[in-house]
Each structure stands twice: as structure tokens, then as C-alpha cells.
Structure 1
């Protein structure tokens, strides 16, 4: 299981301090950018991966209704496993401090290989 991310000149070098200007695609913009104009790279990357996973599994970007249900950890989608729905919820929590961390992401049940 190897994931390769490609950046088409929309990102910036990762740093430990907060970024003050968002330089990515607006559809992937996390709520903390809209709320206070600041964000941290790893937490934003998790949000972005959650949006990407939602779009790949559902065929469209999450509308506000889905994001509200996700923020309440009350979102399911027919045809998706409970683990898939949960990893999406864990990535798309509006509070970045409660969001799944990048270091923990690969340990999520959705990534476990079953025979």
C-alpha cells in the first residue's frame, strides 16, 4: 500500500508554524482557513485527503448537508463500509485538533487488509 501525492504548483513547503495564506484548490480548503485565516500543514493535508476520499467514493464533493452530518459523526453512505464512512468522518472533523492526525491515519481500520 503506497500512496503518491502530486502537487501541481498549488502548495508550499511544509513548516511547523501556521500558514497565513491558502495556496490550494478552494474545494479542498479546510474550515479553519475560513474561520481564522490560519492553518497547519499536516492537519490540512488530512482534511484534503478526507475530501478526496469522499469525492472518490461518492462521485462528488461533499455538500454542506453531508459536512454537517460528518461534523456530528452521524454520516453513513449506502454502499460504503462502516470503516470507510468512519475514516471520512475522522478526516473531516471541523476542529483540526480533533481531526485524525496524519501519523495515525495509516493505522485506521479502513486501511487494514483482510483476507
Structure 2
């Protein structure tokens, strides 16, 4: 069964909140189809949010790239700036591949730890979703560690009206079938 690697362009600009303050991921233009345990080689997404393995042109596990992008996004949301910045693309890539960033002093040690776990250069050592869900910073909000009902019951949570709107604009909504 294939999955959609939707977050190969995960960044704050592609996250929306609905009326219930639930995050909706948008802009699937750079998504990929992949089979379970399949490695990808496609370099795509926004440079500042791309993980080291993608920039190094290595084969990569899509979910681990998504978690790196979550780490960059978390850093941006907490700190108000990108962890890796440079006007020169080559220098920027070197910083990302080295994991060379400095968290500001004003963020707590637990948040620094969560960001560091997500921005771990070695994808085999990077935080997984389970690691994030178990992390002290994540668990500060009681409902944050509870899986949404639609995921528990096996539903993917995609809304039909959104899929219909996508269909009107060209992309094939079946690309975004439920994750299992």
C-alpha cells in the first residue's frame, strides 16, 4: 500500500487552522507516492526546511524528512526565525547538513531538547512521532497526547469538500488516500 509523503514541503505557510484549531496541511504540490519501507531520492521542498539526507542526495525515509521539517517549523514558531539561514544556497546546505544552528537562550531546555531531537542530522537517531508524543514539551497540553478520534477509528480525516475543491483545480484527490 502506498502513502502520500505530504510534508516534503511542510512549513508554516502550508499549515492552516480550522474553526476547531485543528491543523490542516495544504499544498500537496511536492508530495510523493511511496510504498511502505520505500526509500526516496527526490530532492524537493523549500531549501530551509529540507533535511540533511535530502540535501546530501542520499536515499531517505520520507517520514523522517517530515519530522525534520516539523523541527524547523517548531523552531520558527517558537523563535520567530529559521534555525538555518544564509543568503548563499551552498553555505545554507552546509549548515543544514552539519546541523549547525543555535537555539536562542529564551526558550526552555525542554523545548530545546524537543527541537534538537527533531533536528538530529542522522535520521536513524532523529525523534520519531512516538518520541515527540512522549516528550515532556508535547505532553504539557493534555489533549495533545490523545489521538484524534478519526485516526483511532481508522479514518484519515480528509474532508470531502476539500477533496472536491482539489478535484476542481486539477490534482487527483485519490493521491491523498488514508494512511494506514
* Kept after mapping to 2: 8 A contact 1:30/1:44: yes
The alignment status of 1:109 with 2:129, answered yes or no, reads no
Partner Cα distance (2:32, 2:83) in 1:
25
Residue equivalent to 1:100: 127
Over the residues paired in the alignment, what is the CA RMSD in angstroms?
2.6
Larger RCO, structure (CA 8 Å, separation 6 or more): 1
The alignment status of 1:44 with 2:44, answered yes or no, reads no
Report the Cα offset of residue 8 of structure 1. Answer: 3.9
Q: Classify 1:114/1:9 alpha carbon distance in 2 versus 1 (closer, same or farther; 3 Å).
A: closer
Residue equivalent to 2:81: 60
Q: Classify 1:48/1:114 alpha carbon distance in 2 versus 1 (closer, same or farther; 3 Å).
A: closer
* Kept after mapping to 2: 8 A contact 1:76/1:82: no
Q: Tell me, which stretches of 5 or more residues in structure 1 are unaligned?
A: 70-74
- Tell which structure's C-alpha radius of gyration is larger: 2
Q: Classify 1:83/1:2 alpha carbon distance in 2 versus 1 (closer, same or farther; 3 Å).
A: farther
